[in-house]
Amino acid sequence: MTASALALFISVFLACAVEAVEATTIVLAAGTARDWKSAFRGVIAGLITLAAIIIIFGPAISKMPISVLRILVGGLLLVFGLAWLRKAILRASGYKALHDEEKIYREEVETAKKAKKESRLGVSDWYAFTLSYKGVLLEGLEVAFIVLTFGTLSRNKSGGNHIFLASMAALAAVLLTAIAGFALHKPLARVPENTMKFVVGILLTSFGIFWGAEGSAGVGHKWPGDNWAVLGLIALVAMVAFGLIAFLKATKLRPRPTKPTSSKTVVQSNKIGKPRNKILGAIIAFGLFWWDFIIGDDWRIALGIIASFILTAKIGYNSVLSWLYIPVFAITFLGYSLSRVVRANPIS
């Protein structure tokens, strides 16, 4: 196995393991607090829906022009990677609470216990069914996206793709997580998920830069060092991430002047009120899901990524330094997004 193939396997495995931990936590909560039979039916229904989506859209992805696919996948991976990396940096530096799967499990169980029990379409507990269904489908969509994109874009020495390798990595991650979760009959609280998300954020960001730059460069242009450049990008992103953590920790320890309090409290919320019409509510929920999936939690990062791709494509790749445009843009966007969060949550 080559170094690039090994990096791909590790990236897919860790990313899918994180999604599998979250899906397993949801299913365990639904089964423990409500009804295991209904929860398992939700899992099966989610897997069937997921399989149908892959069968319909999978071939379409593989038939897209490679340069277009690299731009789309590179952009989405940068959105995912920078979002995960930003949260991981904020957690590691103390500006955001650590992700606690045990706490999330307890909250899911308490919410499930309070929900009204009703039977629909032959399912004895509709709440347990829908909770498991949504958990498996939403987390499974991200797993499917990672497998299809990593597997399609990565090439072996003979020119073929790495779909099989990516699929095996995802399958191993999901099976190991599910078996461990149900054997222990509790969430995988001991799994260092914050560390995994930090590593996955670095890997996704690195692959996003790699494929995004090759896609915007056009057919025939390859990174200096070809696939080995991925390892260099991983090292670069990791060094920047650790540097940002150290900087934020140092900033947090500095004494800051306290701002005068005001008698008026302004509460901002990006939540949309629940519409009375169920159909309209479903459409809005569907749109918000895809907005969050494609754009992420900071639209400025997504807009900046698009701008960097367009700008670097216009400037052209005339030297080795030209390949640094997108990495520099990505690092700049990450720093800017972190600064916005820090300024919005000052610590005195």
pLDDT tens, position by position, 113-152 = 676 777 777 777 778 888 888 888 888 888 888 887 777 7
- Percent of the chain at pLDDT > 70 equals 73
Residues 62-114 pLDDT 10s = 677 777 778 887 888 888 888 888 888 888 888 777 665 666 666 666 776 67
pTM flag (> 0.85): no
- Specify which of 57-71, 171-185, 237-251, 264-278 reaches the highest per-range mean pLDDT: 237-251
The pLDDT score that the predictor gives to residue 262 is 41
**CB within 8 Å of 150: residues ≥ 6 apart:** 8, 11, 12, 162, 166, 207
Domain boundaries, the chain: 3-253+272-344
**pLDDT surpassing 70 at residue 187:** no
Structure tokens at 261: 């309090």
Compute CA 88 distance to the chain's CA centroid, rounded to the nearest angstrom. 12
The alpha helices in the chain, defined as continuous H runs, are 3-33, 36-63, 66-93, 101-114, 126-153, 163-184, 193-217, 229-253, 278-294, 299-315, 325-344
